[in-house]
Structure 1
């Protein structure tokens, strides 16, 4: 086997080992592999197929192939991360980002139509905003045991800022 084949199989083995460490003892079977890795097995290859069609077969003439390719690539990553870490409630804004990625590929490899940047930016900002809101909300809910200490730190910090401002004025 050549170096690229060894590197690919080695990477698969490393990822499988990390997965087994994360999940603990698992009865591995075909059902388990399909349960956890369906995005990588079905959605990601379809995305690669669209990109391969554009770059190799169509020789950069069928620019429209990049939109579903980018969308499916992003959806595959979002679904795979969600399946491995059971993080659907954090990762759902990635589905809003998916069309932005497809349109950005159309913009980047196409004629650089500046009007494509409008939906790209709107979708990206919405996605990042929702990622931030739900991540920060979850962070604060996980810190609920520390809430009295955080409240005290905020009161102390605000009081110090007020006192420092008064000292500068005199």
Structure 2
């Protein structure tokens, strides 16, 4: 019965938003971005899933829906600056899952994605021409750390 209630809630929200879009003559593009945000909120508050695993799709949908809403309002030319948010989205969701489960793996994965996104945002916002070199150095350091850790595991 709970599953039927969740499906009914989802469809009720979708039809309500669609009705508001039609009555206010908003572009259908607004509907999809708002729909993604609301779907993310349903995951966030446990309507469409429970436990730490529901926070990953919640974070992804919230960030991507927000980026699309900003682009709908201010123009898709802003995507030139907002594209690193697609790297941030899973990092945000993984970090939320970490806050629930306290797993070191979730924290590591989220930090890597969030830091990578921050580097990409900085390179994009400031049009840093040396961003490729910086990103290359970060990848080399990351690769060396992985190699060293894997070599230590074989010895132990």
Structure showing greater Rg: 1
Q: Does 1:74 align with 2:74?
A: no
| In structure 1, distance between residues paired with 2:31 and 2:73 | 8
SS at match of 1:137: coil
Deviation at 1:115, TM superposition (A): 2.0
For structure 1, the 5+ residue unaligned runs are 1-27, 139-170
2:84 alignment partner, one of 75, 81, 93: 93
For normalisation by structure 2, the TM-score amounts to 0.59
Where in structure 1 do 4 or more consecutive aligned residues deviate above 3 Å?
Answer: none
| In structure 2, distance between residues paired with 1:88 and 1:71 | 17
Deviation at 1:64, TM superposition (A): 1.1
C-alpha root-mean-square deviation of aligned residues, in Å? 2.4
For structure 2, the 5+ residue unaligned runs are 1-22, 129-156
Q: Does 1:115 align with 2:105?
A: yes
For normalisation by structure 1, the TM-score amounts to 0.54
1:38 alignment partner, one of 25, 32, 35: 32
2:73 alignment partner, one of 71, 77, 84: 84
